[in-house]
Structure 1
Amino acid sequence: MEAGVRDSKLQLVVSHIRAFPDFPKKGIVFRDICPLLKDAAALSAVIDLFEDHVRINYQQVDLIVGLDARGFLFGPLLAQRLGVGFVLVRKKGKLPGATVAVTYDLEYGTAEAEIQEDAVAPGQKVLLIDDLLATGGTLYAACQLMRKQQAEVLGCLVVIELKELQGVDKLKPQRVFSLVQY
């Protein structure tokens, strides 16, 4: 994709992200992707930009791994474009059958993420996808799940990165690609 086309697609994406100051609490600016999902051209632009990045930077991808819940919105679309499968990382208790889980820290406690035991095979090359990178806790937990499964994490893809929260530092040495940074 040429630079001019990439820039216009990125502008379309940015123009469809809405800011809500003081939500869910005072001092937080919530970045709402609902307008982006509602507009077919803007949603296509997100997937176009992710697809372009993946095709340029990764020789082989076996699976796209989406994080609960908004990674489920972008991941299957990207996986379909790339001709690869899609796998779910869910909150604890949401998947049937045998699962593998990890516990991770939240601002006020802990949570668990899990994957079906047979979802990822040892040695498979995976890319993780989510809508937002904030502190990095959820993506870090998903990377840990992939390591438990002996998969090779190629990198992480997010629509929005909140740079001041430095989530990318928590994910090192994983590469993180974000479309939009605030």
Structure 2
Amino acid sequence: MTGGAQELLLSRIRDVPDYPQPGVVFKDITPLLADPEAFSVLTEALAEVCVRHGATKVVGLEARGFILGAPVAVRAGLGFIPIRKAGKLPGATLSQAYALEYGTAEIEVHAEDLTPDDRVMVIDDVLATGGTAAAAMELIRRGGADVAGLAVLMELGFLGGRARLEPTLAALEALLAL
């Protein structure tokens, strides 16, 4: 991705101080999504990552990963699979619990959506601690598919997600490092 494209994306991400709690600066991507040029640049860049790494399907993580993952899958000519919070998918699912700062959470995928022939690229808006991404990749592997990698709009490097995930990933690409 060119420097101009990165500048465009950065210019459309709004900092929201003290959200969702005091001391946190939330990176709001809604202005980027509202700008058709920026959104197109973003989805094209993520689609290129999918193609470059031989993905056959795209997984989007609830919720902003859905917003990014579905158009990325369409651009790359791939299928899209949502990974959702527990209890949101009907039918047979695989689930994976993971630790949060205070407690645990659980995500699910439809069991039949993953096959041994799949190379899955996980798409999300941000890589922070890597907890949700690690759980998603474990879920994909348990479903019998191969993980092609993780591609995100932005990486919050100070939270250590890359160090946590890199030993288990073929590819980890962040369009923006913050």
What TM-score range do you get, normalising by the shorter chain?
A: over 0.9
Map of 1:165-176 to 2, 5 A cutoff?
165-173=159-167, 174=169, 175-176=171-172
Partner of 2:141: 147
Provide the residue aligned with 1:45 in structure 2. Answer: 41
Q: Which runs of 4+ in 1 moved over 6 A?
A: none
For 1:84, the equivalent position in structure 2 comes to: 78
Residue 20 of structure 2 aligns with which residue? 24
Residues 1:124 and 2:121 are matched in the alignment: no
The secondary structure found in structure 2 opposite 1:100 is strand
Equivalent residue pairs, number: 176
Q: Is the 8 A contact 1:163 1:181 kept in 2?
A: yes
Give the alignment's Cα RMSD to 1 decimal. 1.2
Alpha-carbon spacing, 1:147–1:53, altered in 2? closer, same or farther (3 Å): closer
Give structure 2 stretches of 5+ with no counterpart.
none
Contact 1:10 1:45 in 2 (8 A): no
Q: Deviations over 1:120-157 (max 9, x none)?
A: 11231110001111111100000010110121101001
Name structure 1 gaps, 5 residues minimum. Answer: none
Distance 1:9 1:108 in 2: 37
Work out whether residues 46 and 159 of structure 1, in 8 Å CA contact, stay in contact via their aligned partners in 2.
yes
Provide the identity percentage.
43
Distance in 1, matches of 2:140 and 2:47, equals 22
Cα deviations by residue, 1:56-98 (Å, 9 ceiling, x for unpaired):
x32x221000001111011111111111100010000000000
